[in-house]
């Protein structure tokens, strides 16, 4: 599996907390030749609770778990970090690893766009939006989400294990 790795550190924007300690990791074209293997790879590396579908077209985040998304088909522009965040062009075979608290939304996509999503240890994700009344609790939850033991793409090695140090 050959991949170009990118990392992006996002700041709290006042509405979306993002993650103060962990960067977003993008694995470009890691499953380009084998997009049907994304879910099996995630599951093999203990990133389970997997599903296949799209990405919501509004900003949301999960304060209780990290999330990995692998593009199974099509392409999309995903906005991470809030309204003034980063626009990522994701194509079939790309994977994006979102630390707890990272806002994300589908800004636009091809009609056939599909991702496989999963969570470390199969954690059931909560759903948070830009709601100031949730903020204090969300920030506390984000700080308590542990760094997973395995990288969702590479398992016992890989960029997550070097980028996400506790």
Q: Is residue 154 included in any domain, yes or no?
A: no
What is the SS3 assignment for 119?
strand
CA angle at 158 for the pair 152 and 164, rounded to the nearest 5°: 80
Q: Is residue 153 included in any domain, yes or no?
A: no
User: Running DSSP on this structure, what letter comes out for residue 164?
Assistant: S
CA angle at 89 for the pair 14 and 127, rounded to the nearest 5°: 45
Q: Is residue 162 included in any domain, yes or no?
A: no
Q: Is the pLDDT of residue 41 over 60?
A: yes
Q: Is residue 45 included in any domain, yes or no?
A: yes
What is the pLDDT confidence band of residue 105, given thresholds at 50, 70 and 90?
A: very high
Q: Quote the pTM value.
A: 0.96
Give the CATH number, domain containing residue 27. 2.60.120.10
Q: Is the pLDDT of residue 43 over 60?
A: yes
Q: Is the pLDDT of residue 81 over 90?
A: yes
Q: Is residue 109 included in any domain, yes or no?
A: yes
Q: Is 49 left (phi over 0), alpha (psi -120 to 50) or beta?
A: left
Whole-angstrom distance, CA of residue 32 vs CA of residue 35: 6
Q: Is residue 151 included in any domain, yes or no?
A: no
CB atoms within 10 A of CB 166: 6
User: 161 vs 14, 91, 143, 164, CA distance in Å?
Assistant: 29, 24, 18, 6
Q: Is residue 132 included in any domain, yes or no?
A: yes
Whole-angstrom distance, CA of residue 67 vs CA of residue 125: 8
Give the mean pLDDT of 96-115. Answer: 98
Residues 119-139 as b or e (16 or more Cβ within 10 Å = b): bbeebebeebebeeeebeebe
pLDDT (0 to 100) of residue 135: 86
Of 20, 47, 17, nearest to 131 by C-alpha is 17
For the chain, the domain total comes to 1
pLDDT (0 to 100) of residue 16: 94
Q: Is residue 123 included in any domain, yes or no?
A: yes
Query: Which structural domain range is residue 120 located in?
Result: 4-146
Query: In whole numbers, what is the pLDDT of the chain averaged over residues?
Result: 95
């Amino acid at each position: 599996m050959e991949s170009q790795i990118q990392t992006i550190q996002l700041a709290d924007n006042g509405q979306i907390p993002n993650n103060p300690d962990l960067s977003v990791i993008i694995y470009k074209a890691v499953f380009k030749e084998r997009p049907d293997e994304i879910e099996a790879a995630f599951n093999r590396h203990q990133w389970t609770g997997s599903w296949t579908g799209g990405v919501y077209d509004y900003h949301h985040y999960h304060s209780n778990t990290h999330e990995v998304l692998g593009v199974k088909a099509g392409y999309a522009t995903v906005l991470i970090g809030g309204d003034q965040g980063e626009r990522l062009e994701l194509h079939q075979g790309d994977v994006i690893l979102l630390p707890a608290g990272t806002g994300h939304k589908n800004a636009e996509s091809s009609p056939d766009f599909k991702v496989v999503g999963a969570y470390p240890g199969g954690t059931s994700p909560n759903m948070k939006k830009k709601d100031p009344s949730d903020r204090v609790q969300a920030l506390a939850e984000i700080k308590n989400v542990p760094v997973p033991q395995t990288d969702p793409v590479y398992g016992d090695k890989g960029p997550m294990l070097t980028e996400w140090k506790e």
